[in-house]
Amino acid sequence: MEQRTQFYIDGQWTKPLGSGKIEVFSPTDGAVIATIPEGNAADADKAVQAARRAFDAWAATTPAQRAEYLKKIQDGLKARTDEIAKAITLEMGMPYKMSQRVQVGSPTASFGMYSKMLATFPFEEQVGHSKVVREAVGVVAAITPWNYPLHQIAAKVAAALAAGCTIVLKPSEVAPINAFLLAEIIHDAGLPAGVFNLVTGYGPAIGEAMVTHPEVDMVSFTGSTRAGKRISEMASATVKRVALELGGKSAAILLDDADFSVAVKGVVGNCFLNAGQTCTAHTRMLVPAARYDEAAKLAVEAASAYRVGDPMAEGITLGPLASKMQQDKVREYIIKGQAEGAELLIGGADLPEGVNAKGYYVKPTVFGKVKWDATIAQEEIFGPVLSIISYSDEDDAVRIANSTLYGLAGGVWSATDEHAEKVARRMRTGQVDINGGPFNLYAPFGGYKQSGNGRELGKYGLEDFLEFKTMQFKPAPKA
For the stretch 105-142, pLDDT in tens is 999 999 999 999 999 999 999 999 999 999 999 999 99
With beta carbons less than 8 A apart as the criterion, state whether 464 and 445 touch: no
Please report, rounded to a whole number, the percentage of residues in the chain having pLDDT higher than 70. 100
With beta carbons less than 8 A apart as the criterion, state whether 60 and 76 touch: no
Please report, rounded to a whole number, the percentage of residues in the chain having pLDDT higher than 90. 98
Mean pLDDT estimate for the chain? 97
Asked if the model's pLDDT at residue 479 lies above 80, the reply is no
Residue partners of 118: CB distance under 8 A and separation at least 6: 63, 64, 66, 67, 70, 162
Q: Which amino acid is at 287?
A: V
Return the pLDDT at 89. Answer: 98
* CA–CA separation, 365 and 382 (whole Å): 12
Predicted confidence band of residue 477 (pLDDT cuts 50, 70, 90): confident
- Compute the residue count for the chain: 479
Predicted confidence band of residue 23 (pLDDT cuts 50, 70, 90): very high
Q: Which residues are designated catalytic?
A: 245, 279
With beta carbons less than 8 A apart as the criterion, state whether 131 and 124 touch: yes
Predicted confidence band of residue 39 (pLDDT cuts 50, 70, 90): very high
For the stretch 222-270, pLDDT in tens is 999 999 999 999 999 999 999 999 999 999 999 999 999 999 999 999 9
Return the pLDDT at 460. Answer: 98
For the stretch 404-427, pLDDT in tens is 999 999 999 999 999 999 999 999
Taking residues 177-197, report their average pLDDT. Answer: 98
Domains delineated in the chain = 2-246+452-470 (3.40.605.10), 250-440 (3.40.309.10)
Q: Are strands 12-14 and 7-9 parallel, antiparallel or unpaired?
A: antiparallel
